[in-house]
Amino acid sequence: MEFKEVVNKRHSVRNFKSDEIPVTVLQDIVRTAQRSPSWENSQPWNVYIATGETLKKIKEIWVGKYKEKVKGSPDMPTGHRTNFSERSQQNMKDFMGAVAEYSGDPEIKHFLKMNEVLFNAPALVYLTLGKGHTGWPIYDLGGFGLALMLAAKDQGIDSIPAYEIVKFPAELRPLLSVPEDEEIIMGIALGYAAEDGINDFSSSRLPLEEVLTIKQ
C-alpha cells in the first residue's frame, strides 16, 4: 500500500475474527517497528506477544476481573481527566458522544463489551520499558507503537491500541515472563476485522489550524 493509504486506512478495530496471524508476519511487523527513532538510539522497548493458550488464559482472567468488578491498576497511572487539557477533555467527550450516537446506544454496551473480551483479538502485543526511566522513553515507545500498527496495516492486519489490554499488569507479568524491573506500558490488539458495524466507526480530528502553528 502507498504510505498515505496505510495511514488513512489504519483505525481502531474493536472486534476481530478468530483467524491467527502467522508468527513470521508478527516477527516482520515488529522488525519494521524497530526502525523507529529513539533517544540516542536507546531502543528502550521490549515487546511481548500473547497468542494461543497464553492469550486464552489472559482472556479468562479478564472475564473474572469483570465479574468481580475489579478496577484497573496499570503500571503507568491513568491520572484524572482533569490532568488533560480542556481541549483534550472536550475531544474525549465528543469521541464518546460520537460512539454513542453511531451505535444508537447511549450506554455504548457493545463498545464496552468488546473491551471486556479484549476485542476477540487473536494476538495481543505488550510494550514494556525498564523501570525508573526519565519519561522520554515514553515518547520513543509511542512512536514504536504507531510504527507497529502501520506495519501491521501494510500487511492487511488491523489493530487497536488500548489501555484495556494493560489494566491488570500483575496478572500479565507471570504469563508473559515480564521481569519485575519492567513496566507494562501499553497494549495493542492485532487481527483481522470481523464483520461488525463498530469497526466502521470513524473518529474525527481537529481542524489543522487548531493544532498547527507555522511562524515565518
Ligand X SMILES: Cc1cc2nc3c(=O)[nH]c(=O)nc-3n(C[C@H](O)[C@H](O)[C@H](O)COP(=O)(O)O)c2cc1C
Q: Residues in the site for ligand X, rule: CB under 6 A?
A: 11-12, 14, 95, 115, 160-164, 203
- Toward ligand X, which CB reaches closer, 31 or 113? 113
Residues ≥6 apart with Cβ < 8 Å to 56: none
For the bound state, the minimum distance from the C-beta of residue 24 to ligand X, rounded and expressed in Å, comes to: 26
Shortest Å, Cβ 121 to ligand X = 12
Distinct helix (H) and strand (E) counts, the chain? 8, 4
Does residue 158 contact residue 17 with C-beta atoms inside 8 Å? no
Q: Is 82 or 216 the residue whose CB approaches ligand X more closely? A: 82
Give the residue with the Cβ less far from ligand X, 29 or 149: 149
Query: Which cell is 175 given?
Result: 504469563
Q: How far is the CB of 128 from ligand X (least distance, A)?
A: 15
Q: Which is nearer to ligand X, 23 or 96 (CB)?
A: 96
Give me 18's grid cell: 478468530
Q: How far is the CB of 216 from ligand X (least distance, A)?
A: 31
Q: Which amino acid is at 150?
A: L
Q: Of 113, 214, 124, 110, which is closest to residue 166 (Cα–Cα)? A: 124
